[in-house]
Chain A
Amino acid sequence: MRKEIKILAAIAVVVVIAAIVGANYYRSSIQSERITAGNNTNKQAATTANAEQLVRPDSPTLGAADAPVTIVEFLDPECESCAAFSPIVKKILKEYEGKIRFVVRYMPLHPNSLSAATFTEAAGEQGKYWQAQEMLFQKQPEWGTKHGPSPGAPADINALFKKYAAELGLDTSKMDSAFAQNKYAAKLERDKKDGQSLGVRQTPTFFVNGRRLARLGESDLKALIDEELK
């Protein structure tokens, strides 16, 4: 190999290794920060981030309140990664059954997110929150906003959601009034504000016992849960 190539390769290897080490270090430092009650751990938002903003009493929840691990997911029903990751969440919840309390928070970032969240919340009042969520994730290609030049979302998204409500066997008049009154606007707005002050910039974002999952992935999420179970 010529001298020039050797020099460039050596520098490149050093820089890339430094970047990988740095990335791992950064991620573990993110995950070592914990949001706890009355204890401000997020330095940048020292005055705001706390446990109260992580879990609100009216947030959709699965599992026992005294489970050793609380997982909070900030999600957007219209987010494709959330839909793709949702089977993994379900699998993990099953695998760790009894050890996890799972809480859903909204981070509505897409054009139809608010309607979709209204749909799941209204279904939740009728006891079918998780079915509604699963349905929306599965049918996301049908109702979600399309990227790029395409006909776009159906003109009346709420009408489509009413159809879904009927399919789920929900009381459609209650669904109607939820949409008409924009019943959950305040709750969704609060969730979004909480997410922002907790530093949530993307969906899905997971917190495991107040520790933010630094990299989205099944093994990373499990590793964090296992650490908390130790």
Chain B
Amino acid sequence: MNPAGNLQENKLTDALPYLAWFIALIATVGSLFFSEVMQLPPCVLCWYQRIAMYPLVVIIGVGIITLDNRMKYYALPLGLIGLAISIYHNLLYYGLIPESITPCTEGISCTSRQIEWLGFITIPLMALAAFVGVSLCLLFYKSKEIEK
């Protein structure tokens, strides 16, 4: 590969942690906005996804600031756990798994639709997009350690 292309690729991969961090931040602030400002009660599965999402802001942020090449290995497991819960939640939400087997007993049902923007943008879908985004950014981010 020519040096210019290499440099460009480096720039792109350097931006990936920032993008991952930005997505996690938006997801964190957004979910707090839904529950604290709009007062939509979060269901049980939403809480589990929050548990995976919120620390990502800190872990990726600290990783970026301390130039820690291993940040990916700390953050990716959380992203994938969140992704797994989110996939499960979306399958329930869109009726691909029957609701009778949901673990949601407290408060609000995990399948009650609280937001439907433009007819298809729902909270579980936004969460799924966020986890996919964060996980992909981290997966494609080649830490310098490996390159060397």
Chain A residues contacting B61 (CB-CB under 8 Å) are 8
Q: Interface code A171-184, partner B: CB below 8 Å = 1, 0 otherwise?
A: 00000000000000
CB–CB A4/B67 < 8 A? yes
CB–CB A16/B39 < 8 A? no
* Contact flag A22-B37 (CB < 8 Å), given A12-B25, A15-B29: yes
* Contact flag A19-B41 (CB < 8 Å), given A7-B18, A8-B65: no
The CA-CA distance from A19 to B34 in the complex, in Å, is 11
How many B residues, CB 8 Å from partner? Answer: 16
Find residues 20-76 in chain B having any chain A CB closer than 8 Å to their own CB. 21-22, 25-26, 29, 32-33, 37-39, 41, 61, 64-65, 67
Chain B residues contacting A230 (CB-CB under 8 Å) are none
Among A2, A8, A27, residue most surrounded by chain B Cβ atoms (within 10 Å):
A8
Q: Does A163 contact B (CB under 8 A)?
A: no
Chain B residues contacting A19 (CB-CB under 8 Å) are 29, 32-33
Among A2, A4, A22, A23, residue most surrounded by chain B Cβ atoms (within 10 Å):
A4
B25's contact among A4, A15, A22, by CB below 8 Å, is which?
A15
Chain B residues contacting A2 (CB-CB under 8 Å) are 65
Q: Which residue of A lies closest to B28 (CB)?
A: A15
18 pairs, CB–CB < 8 Å, chain A vs chain B = A2-B65, A4-B65, A4-B67, A5-B65, A8-B61, A8-B65, A11-B18, A11-B25, A15-B25, A19-B29, A22-B33, A22-B37, A23-B37, A26-B33, A26-B38, A27-B37, A201-B39, A202-B39
Given contacts A8-B64, A22-B33, A202-B39, 20 further A-B contacts (CB under 8 A): A4-B65, A4-B67, A7-B18, A8-B18, A11-B21, A11-B22, A11-B25, A15-B25, A15-B26, A15-B29, A16-B29, A19-B29, A19-B33, A22-B37, A23-B37, A26-B33, A26-B37, A26-B38, A201-B39, A201-B41
**Residues in B lying within 8 Å of A, measured CB to CB:** 18, 21-22, 25-26, 29, 32-33, 37-39, 41, 61, 64-65, 67
